[in-house]
Amino acid sequence: MTNAVFDLSNMFFRSMFIVGGFGKKQYTFDSQREMDQLMRKVAIDVTSVIRTINPSRVIFALDNKSWRKKISIDENEGYKGNRTKSDVINWDNFYSIMSDFTDIMKTNGFVVSKIDNAEADDLMALWRDELLYNQNQHVILVSGDEDVRQLVSTHEYSGNKKAYSVVFNPFTQGRGATKKLFAPDGFGKWLADEDNMGSIFDRSIDVDKEDFQRILKEKVALDEINGDEIALRKLFCGDDGDNVPSIFTWMAKTAKGDDKIVRITQSKFKKIIDSIGAKNVNDLFEKEKITSIEDQIKDISEKEDLPFKMKDRLTRQAKLVVLDKKFFPPEIVSDFQKDIQGDMPIPKIAPQSWNMLSMLEGTRYVDAAKSSGGSEASIFKQIDRISNKELF
Please give the domain boundaries of the chain with CATH numbers for all domains.
Answer: 2-225+329-386 (3.40.50.1010), 229-320 (no CATH)
Return the pLDDT at 201: 44
Does residue 392 surpass a pLDDT of 90?
A: no
Task: Count the Cβ atoms, other than its own, within 10 Å of residue 73.
Answer: 17
**Lowest pLDDT segment from 77-91, 124-138, 188-202, 299-313:** 188-202
Please give the average per-residue pLDDT across 99-105, as a whole number.
Answer: 94
In sequence order, the 6+-apart residues with CB closer than 8 A to the CB of 270 are none
Look up the pTM and report it.
0.89
- CA 65 to chain centroid: 16
How many Cα atoms sit within 13 Å of 195 on the Cβ side? 16
Q: Which 3 state secondary structure label does DSSP give 4?
A: strand
Render pLDDT for 243-265 as a digit per residue (tens, 0 to 9). Answer: 999 999 998 877 777 788 899 99
pLDDT reading at 156 higher than 70: yes
**pLDDT computed for residue 83 by the predictor:** 83
| pLDDT higher than threshold 90 for residue 160 | no
* Cα distance between residue 190 and residue 199, in whole Å: 20
* Helical segments of the chain, H only: 8-19, 32-53, 91-107, 120-128, 187-192, 209-217, 227-237, 266-276, 287-301, 310-321, 330-339, 356-360, 364-371, 375-386
> Is-contact 148 120, C-beta < 8 A?
no
Span 331-390, pLDDT tens digits:
999 999 998 886 566 555 667 788 888 889 888 888 655 555 554 545 555 545 544 444
- What is the average per-residue pLDDT within 214-222? 90
Strand partners of residue 156: 162
**Cβ-Cβ contacts under 8 Å for 168 (sequence gap 6 or more):** 49, 53, 140, 141, 142, 143, 179, 180, 181, 182, 215, 220
| pLDDT number for residue 130 | 95
Q: Helix 32-53 to helix 91-107 angle, to the nearest 10 degrees?
A: 40
Mean pLDDT of the chain: 86
pLDDT bin (cut points 50, 70, 90) of residue 195 is low
Task: Using alpha carbons, select from 17, 123, 138 the residue that is nearest to residue 64.
Answer: 123
Q: What is the largest CA-CA distance in the chain?
A: 75
Q: Is the pLDDT of residue 25 over 80?
A: no
Q: How much is the pLDDT for 210? A: 87
